Amino acid sequence: MRKTLVIVLLFLFVTACSSNSSENNKTEENTMEEPKSLEVNFDLPESAETGKAVPLKATVTYGEEMVADAEEMSFEYWNVEDEANKTMVESVNNNDGTYTAEVTFQQPGTYEIYAHTTARELHTIPKKSITVTGEPTEEHSHPSHEDTEHSHQHQNENFHMQFTTIETAKVNEEITLTVSPMLDEQPLENAEVRYEIIQDGEKEHKWLDATEQAGVYTATHTFAKTGSSTVVIHVTNDEGLHEHEEHSIEVTE
């Protein structure tokens, strides 16, 4: 009888240990799971001809999930020789994680195109370039999207940013990013300002939430390696303002 009791207790002990080990393994697996990121695969041909429609397509994913309900997915483009003249084109949601639109360029030149994407409380704006050749067909390029009422100048003419320019930075040394957004020649207060850090060769973008003091927005950052980096300043507010501006920083030893 005593021997049987010992065997039963030993069995229960081994079972409990096995259960704890399994739970610990699950906990470790959950802990080691990498955070999901918002990714946009932006398809764009390298070249096009004036007067011919160019298809734009963005495939949006969050981890392994196809994002069919992005809060924002639009394309913004401009001629590099005329950056003040920007056009925004709303995409068509195909409800399968892909978003499409078309544009027709009427002027030859090099154009840059942003794929503005907001989903899962994240925002990213991959950028690509396209070279347009041929004869001018009209004074300005325009979107060939069916719903043209969505196309407009993206920049608010009464808005501008005063960014404390940093042309170079040293690796592993902290820098302070400072910007003063202005609207109607007045400091813009109570806005949301974020700095997006894009380092050449890095897939992941780093986001910094700025701290405001009397309309001046600051954040600190330390570059971990040398190379060229782009800082994109995003400014939004509750009144629907959404502006951004790019600056380049060269990181050295």
Q: What are 214-237's pLDDT values in tens digits?
A: 999 999 999 999 999 989 899 988
Look over the chain and give the mean of its residue pLDDT values, rounded to a whole number. 81
| CA 10 to each of CA 4, 15, 17: distance values in angstroms, whole numbers, following the listed order | 10, 9, 11
Q: What are the C-alpha distances in Å from 61 to residues 100, 118, 169, 176, 252?
A: 15, 11, 33, 32, 34
Please give the model's pTM, rounded to 2 decimal places: 0.55
Matching CATH topology for 38-150 and 159-252? Answer: yes
38-150, what's its fold? Answer: Immunoglobulin-like (2.60.40)
In CATH, 159-252 is 3.30.70.860: no
**Dist CA 212 CA 177 (whole Å):** 12
pLDDT, one tens digit per residue, over 91-149 is: 899 999 999 999 989 889 999 999 989 888 888 888 899 999 998 875 444 444 433 33
For the chain, the domains span: 38-150, 159-252
